[in-house]
Structure 1
Amino acid sequence: MKISSTWKKVLIALAVALLVVLAVVIHALAGLSTQPITYAEPPVFVAQYAEKMQHSDPLSIPNGRHTGIEKDSDAEYAKWMEGFSYEEALVFRAIMVGESLEELWGLFTHPDKAVRIKIASAFAAVNIKFSHHDESGFPPKRNQFWKDLGEQLPNVRNALSEGLVETAKHGTATRIPYTLAWLPEQGLETLKLFEWAAKHHPDPGVRRSSLYYVAYIGREEVFTAPLLLNRAHDPEYSVRELALGLRFRRLVGDL
């Protein structure tokens, strides 16, 4: 059986295309041109916003360490808070029953950056643990808490952003991106921060999640396409694999 010249050309073209695709995949996943992760200064808006926190008055911040949270004997909540730090318990109770909100906001705007980062880390830890924990009743409470943040939203976002930057400086793992990504009213600044983290955070888990959030939440061509190409050179295989998968999904219109 003879194959017409037209079909021969089609088959050759398909074979060439397949070889090109295989070459791209092998090159991307094999890490033949990886580049080391180096720290770079984060977007300036994080430090600019934080400057305003330096003028807050720590003496005006309510101290709830001897009120509601410690003396509450409600076993329904106590069992979920076993092993929590004070800050984590404060966050959990604030979301679940609206306790000590003034103190919570005071910590998010505290003039000491270390205090802001500590409460932001606790906030992220509680969200990671309970956001899909239906038995505790946390998910709908959290959703309502997001809606009610109001004027506190920028302060919460800032503290989480500072926490993410600080972990990059010290090379520590963090789950802050998850909470930062699902805050209401995401904008250009959050995308810029995730773009930075995807390139410069030493923890591959943070780079991977930041890459994911830029692609899925932002979907901005100016960010996504260049970042996916950039992370094809990531030294961590899982990051390169995600970047390749996201590029493919964009190609077929699934992203």
Structure 2
Amino acid sequence: NFVWTASNPAGCVKRCSLLYTDSSSCNGDQSCMWVDALGECREACDQYKLEQYPQMVLSQVRDLCFADTQCRFDRTSTACKRRCEYAHTSQASCTADGDCMWDQVNYRCATHCNLLPGIAECSSNPMCSFDRTANGGNGTCEMQCQFAYPTQAACAAVSPKCAWSTNDNACMSDCAPLNEGQCADNSLCEWWSNECKRRCDVAYADPTSCNTDSRCMWDSTQSLCKKGCTYLTVDTDCNAVAGMCEWVPTRRVCQKRCEAVASTEAACMTNTVDVTSRCSWNVDQQ
């Protein structure tokens, strides 16, 4: 019925479950916390500390903290704290806690992205994305741009990490850190060779930089960088770029139109084997 506490003042105290039978009085005592799932008052997460368990090392105390579904271990302060979703029930109190953020997808309080330790934990939160290039290549979990920067001005201030999408009327994350699912949800990105990249029309604004990317091509008629013809695998997508591409139904492939391949006879005749086998210079149309 009693438990030893190393808190100031240290001593033997009555268990929280025997002291309180309702959430209000329980949560009013900082050494206790109310657990809705159990309908009872329990000792608070900060009980898991070295002072409380002098016979243990930090890693053992940390494991005790992890084992308690109400608690989380703060690696920075080495303190065991109550998980944000249990500590706060309102958006105001949640956002006032620097360790927490209001989950705008699930409408509950959640641990802030930058406190999530790994890719799995980070990816499980719909508001976060894991940037593999940050922190000296070790990666870090960050809040996605659409949640971190709600205005166009704020979004522009962190370019090129984020970019404003007029289609979504929201700030969208740099594509590189996103996993395949997040990439598909971002209108500025596309999944390419097992990584997420900016769409050609978003990534490049001039023909030189556009044409240096093998997946892209510059459409001079629209002054726009587009995905290369050979990567358009559906006839409707291919035909939508009629000025640059043509669909070959017998091979079910999209290829670049000969007139779009080269603008001079020399370039036309010295292009790739595939091009020279199907294209020729038309003297009459010079």
**TM-score in same-fold range (> 0.5):** no
User: Whose helix proportion is higher, 1 or 2?
Assistant: 1
Give the structure-2-normalised TM-score: 0.29
Give the structure-1-normalised TM-score: 0.32
Decide which structure has the larger Cα Rg and report it.
Answer: 2
